[in-house]
Amino acid sequence: MSQQLGRLSRRGFLVGASAIATTGAISFFGLKGDRAQASVNAAANHAGTIPFWGIHQPGIVTPEVAAALVVALDVTARSPAELTGLFQTLTQRINYLMTGGRLEPLDPRYPPSGSGILGASFAADNLTVTVSAGASLFDDRYGLAALRPKHLTEMPKFPNDRLDAALCHGDLLLQFCANHNETNIHALRDILKQLSGLVVLRWQITGFQQPDADAHPRRTTVRNLLGFKDGTANLNSQDSRLMNRLVWVQRESGEPPWAIGGSYQVVRIIRMFVEFWDRTALDEQEEIMGRSRDTGAPLGYSHEEDIPNYAKDPKGQKIPLDAHIRLANPRTPATEANRILRKGFHYSRGIDQAGQLDMGLLFIAFQQDVQRGFESVQNRLNGEPLEEYIKPIGGGYFFTLPGVANQDGYLAQSLLEAV
C-alpha cells in the first residue's frame, strides 16, 4: 500500500515547499482559517523542513517519503507529573529534530548531545514524528480512564490474523517518516535517550518505498510488493474539507473535547506470501485485486484514474464481486463514510524459519472513527481471495494526538489538563 497523497508527488511537494519559501504563501495544506498552521508553513525556511506546529500533527497529510520507522513504546513514568514531563520533552525534541540543526558541543567528559550518526549537524530531511496513544495509556495509572477516545480499544483479532504478541499494541506509537532511514534512526535514538526511564521499547518495524518509482506522464503511484499500484483510489489528503469529514476528529464527533484535531491511527503488519504470489497466474492476480497489474486501471477500464461503475456490473463480469477494491470500497452512498486515508510502506525482515521471504505491507490508516473506517472496511474484506496470499501478524489501534498550535504548548496538553 503506498501513501498516495492526493495528486501530489514528492517531487511536486519539494517544488511546492520552495515556492512557499520564496513567495511566503500561507496556505500550503489548504486548511482555511488555520492560522497557526499557515504561519508556520510560511516560516518553513527551506525545502525538506515540514512544520511541526499546527492544529494537526505532521506525518498524516504530508507527502510521500522513502523511509518509515514505526515504534511502539510502553510508558514507565511513575506519576502524572512524570507523564507530563515525558510529553513536554517529546514535543521539544520532535520540534528540534524536524527542524534540523547542529549538535550542541558538550564537555567531552559527558556523553555527546547526539548519536552523531548524521555528523555534527543534521538536515531536517522531511522528517516527521507523529505521536499516538494506545488504549492501554488510558488505564488507571495516570487517571486518564474517563478521557479515553470513544472508539479506542485494543486492536481485535480478525479472522485471517495470526497476531504475534511481540508485535502488537503499546501505550504510545511513534511514526517516523523521512527521506532516509538514518534520519529516522537518529531521531529515535535522540528521543529514547531523552526519555530514558520514562518509556521502554515494545516493538518496532522499518518501512520503505520508492516514491516516483514508476514514471508516468501525469502521476505516479508506488507499487506494493505484490507488483500492483497501490494508493490510486486513496483519499486526496490535500482536500481539507474531505480530511475534516473523514480523518480529523471534529467538535461534533462526540469525542472528549481534548481529542478534537486528532485522528485514529491503525497499523497492521501484513505478511505477504510473495513466492506463492509469484507463481500465480496474472489473470488470477488481477481478478483478486480488481485492477490491471500493468496500468493500475480497474479491470475493463483503460486508465488508472477511471472510476469503476459497479452498478453497471452487478454480476461481477468485469470486476469480480469479491475483488479487493470492490469489497474495500463498493462505492455506494452507504459506504462513503467508511473511506480511510491509507499510508503504507513495504517491509522486509529477512527469511522466516521455513526459508521463505519475510516481507509485506506496513499498512497505516487514519480516520475520524476507527469503527466506521478501518473496521468496516476490514469486515467487508474478511474472507476475500487475497487472504490466501497475506497474513496480518501485528499492529494496533492508536489515537493520534491533536497537534500543538504553537511554542507555548506541548503534545497531549489538552488531555493532561482535562484530568
The contact set with ligand HEM (CB under 6 A) reads 1, 224, 226, 228-234, 268, 270, 272, 289, 291, 324-325, 328-329, 361, 363, 374, 377-378, 381, 390
* Residue 60 Cβ vs ligand HEM, minimum distance, rounded to whole Å: 16
Share of the chain residues as helix, strand and coil, in percent rounded to the nearest 5:
30, 20, 50
Is the Cβ of residue 178 or residue 274 nearer to ligand HEM in the bound state?
274
Nearer to ligand HEM, 97 or 365 (CB): 365
Q: How far is the CB of 203 from ligand HEM (least distance, A)?
A: 19
- Smallest distance, Å, CB 354 to ligand HEM? 19
To the nearest whole angstrom, how small is the minimum distance from the Cβ of residue 121 to ligand HEM?
38
Question: What's the min distance (Å) between Cβ of 175 and ligand HEM?
Answer: 17
Please report which helix (H) or strand (E) contains residue 35, including its range: helix 35-43
With CA atoms as reference, report the closest residue to 415 among 171, 57, 149.
149
**Cα–Cα distance, 291 to 127 (Å, whole number):** 33
Which residue lies nearer to ligand HEM by CB, 231 or 403?
231
Nearer to ligand HEM, 148 or 223 (CB): 223
Q: How far is the CB of 48 from ligand HEM (least distance, A)?
A: 27
Which residue reads 499510508 in cell numbers?
Answer: 343
Q: Which is nearer to ligand HEM, 1 or 65 (CB)?
A: 1
Bridging pattern class, strands 172-178 and 357-367: unpaired
Minimal distance in Å, beta carbon 264 to ligand HEM?
13
Nearer to ligand HEM, 85 or 385 (CB): 385
Instruction: For ligand HEM, give the closer residue by CB, 366 or 374.
Output: 374
The three-state secondary structure class of 336 is helix
Using CA atoms of 25, 11, 400, 231 in order, give the dihedral in degrees to the nearest 10.
130
Residue for cell digits 511513534?
174
Question: Residue 391: which of 164, 225, 162, 205 has the closest Cα?
Answer: 162
CB-based burial of residue 187 (10 Å sphere; 0-12 exposed, 13-18 middle, 19+ buried)?
buried
For the record, the C-alpha cell of 373 comes out as 473506517
Query: Nearest distance from residue 118's CB to ligand HEM, in Å?
Result: 33
For ligand HEM, the closer of residues 170 and 344 by Cβ is 344
Q: How far is the CB of 338 from ligand HEM (least distance, A)?
A: 8
The helix/strand/coil state of 256 is: coil
| Residue from 258, 198, 244 nearest 409 by CA | 258
Nearer to ligand HEM, 128 or 378 (CB): 378
Question: Long-range contact list for 251-259, CB < 8 A, 24+ apart?
Answer: 253/368, 253/369, 254/150, 255/149, 255/150, 256/147, 256/148, 256/149, 256/150, 256/418, 257/414, 257/418, 258/147, 258/402, 258/414, 258/415, 258/417, 258/418, 259/149, 259/399, 259/402, 259/414, 259/415
